[in-house]
């Protein structure tokens, strides 16, 4: 599927699934550093990796926030193909990466089966927008093969959900009753309309924060599933002067640029670039320079600060990811 067709599917359904979108050779370096973040499948299931206890009993305990202990996995979040896809979907090349996470799941560690939900509660203070210049896109990027037995996300086209109100946000499987106005029993047809995101390593699932989706259970013996999750949007507008990555690059090269006129009512996102870029760079090039030029060590004071600078982390991380945050 080319980017034009992908954008059309995204606008129609609220998501697009691109199997093997990232070539295997572009994942090799990231996979080589995956153990810097997470136990191997054997290390977890045999209990030989001391980190294995972290993942037991809480599906969200497997989330690491950007910047990661691995520079190569950090780079995967700003892969040039990912940025080109975001530009095509949002119809804009002035983007901000406002959050990224790496997530590992292990068979039997906990219950990964979720109710259908939307992520917008932790991505915007408003309801999801379809206004050009104020849209956002989330992406699951599979670092390994994720067949159905390794719990791929399931998504529901907006053809089936466009009429639904902002609340309730969590729609439980038929037969389960909600406890408040944010949680309700779903129409059985919604679960029947689910589309599986299962795919090989390099698969990218792009979706809007307003798209209903859910995580599913891992059933493969001794299984491990790993993905990078990134979210981008047009930077915002009230007083914002455009792409921070481009602005900082221009500042470093001694050139000047006028502030871009405000568009829409979006709120500004987090800057992705460093203060020491040289030359005039595209935003994704600035992000690569920022990551390549940084040293990532678990517990490093700079890492903690930059993670905090990515914005307030809600109970479910980057987005609600299915966890209630009301």
Q: How many other C-beta atoms are found inside a 10 Å radius of the C-beta of residue 107? A: 20
116-129 average pLDDT score: 82
Structural domain contains residue 314: no
Residue 128: what pLDDT? 73
Q: Which residue range(s) make up the domain with 92?
A: 3-229+298-309
Structural domain contains residue 320: no
300-326 average pLDDT score: 40
Sign for the pseudo-dihedral over CA of 307, 266, 115, 197? negative
57-61, 153-157, 255-259: lowest mean pLDDT where? 255-259
Q: What is the pLDDT of residues 197-232, one digit of tens each?
A: 999 999 999 999 999 999 999 999 999 999 999 988
Q: What is the pLDDT of residues 244-289, one digit of tens each?
A: 333 233 333 333 333 232 233 333 233 333 333 333 345 545 545 4
Q: How far is CA 118 from CA 48, 86, 99, 155, 222, in A?
A: 37, 19, 17, 10, 30
Query: What tokens appear for 303 in the block?
Result: 């890492």
Number of domains in the chain: 1
CATH number at 113 reads 2.60.120.620
Structural domain contains residue 194: yes
Q: How high does pLDDT run on average in the chain?
A: 78
Annotate 71-91 with b (16+ C-beta within 10 A) or e (fewer): bbbbbbbbbebbbebbbbbbe
Structural domain contains residue 27: yes
Determine contact, residues 75/287, Cβ cutoff 8 Å: no
Structural domain contains residue 68: yes
The pair phi, psi for residue 76, each rounded to 5°, is -60, -30
Q: Which of 308, 134, 104, 101 is nearest to 209 (CA)?
A: 134
Q: Which tops the pLDDT comparison, 70 or 282?
A: 70
Q: Is 138 in a helix, a strand, or coil?
A: strand
Q: Which of 148, 146, 154 is nearest to 226 (CA)?
A: 146
51-63 average pLDDT score: 97
Confidence of residue 324 (pLDDT cuts 50, 70, 90): low
Q: Is the pTM of this model over 0.75?
A: yes
Confidence of residue 130 (pLDDT cuts 50, 70, 90): confident
Structural domain contains residue 187: yes
Residue labelled with tokens 């990515």: 310
Give the DSSP letter of residue 218: B
Residue by residue, DSSP assigns 34-88 as GGGTS--HHHHHTT-SGGGGGGTT-GGGGEEESSPS-HHHHHHTT-HHHHHHHHH
Structural domain contains residue 242: no
Structural domain contains residue 24: yes
């Amino acid at each position: 599927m080319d980017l034009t067709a992908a954008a059309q599917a995204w606008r129609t359904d609220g998501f697009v699934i691109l199997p093997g979108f990232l070539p295997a050779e572009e994942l090799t370096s990231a996979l080589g550093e995956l153990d810097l973040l997470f136990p191997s499948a054997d290390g977890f299931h045999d209990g030989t990796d001391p980190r294995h206890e972290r993942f037991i009993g809480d599906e969200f305990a497997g989330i690491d926030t950007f910047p990661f202990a691995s520079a190569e996995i950090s780079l995967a979040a700003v892969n040039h193909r990912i940025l080109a896809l975001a530009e095509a979907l949002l119809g804009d090349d002035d983007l901000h990466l406002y959050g990224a996470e790496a997530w590992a799941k292990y068979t039997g560690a906990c219950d990964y089966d979720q109710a259908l939900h939307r992520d917008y509660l932790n991505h915007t203070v408003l309801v999801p927008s379809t206004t050009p210049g104020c849209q956002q896109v989330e992406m699951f990027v599979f670092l390994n093969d994720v067949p159905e037995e390794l719990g791929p996300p399931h998504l529901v086209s907006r053809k089936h959900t466009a009429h639904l109100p902002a609340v309730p946000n969590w729609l439980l499987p038929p037969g389960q009753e909600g406890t408040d106005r944010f949680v309700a029993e779903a129409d059985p047809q919604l679960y029947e309309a689910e589309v599986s995101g299962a795919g090989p390593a390099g698969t990218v699932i792009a979706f809007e924060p307003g798209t209903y989706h859910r995580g599913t259970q891992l059933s493969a013996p001794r299984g491990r599933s790993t993905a990078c999750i990134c979210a981008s949007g047009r930077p915002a507008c009230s007083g914002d002067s455009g792409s921070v990555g481009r602005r900082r690059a221009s500042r470093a090269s001694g050139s000047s640029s006028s502030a871009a006129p405000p568009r829409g009512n979006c709120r500004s996102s987090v800057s992705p670039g460093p203060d020491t870029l040289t030359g005039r760079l595209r935003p994704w090039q600035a992000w690569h320079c920022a990551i390549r030029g940084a040293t990532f060590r678990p517990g490093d004071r700079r890492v903690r600060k930059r993670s905090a600078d990515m914005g307030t982390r809600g109970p479910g991380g980057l987005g609600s990811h299915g966890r209630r945050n009301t």
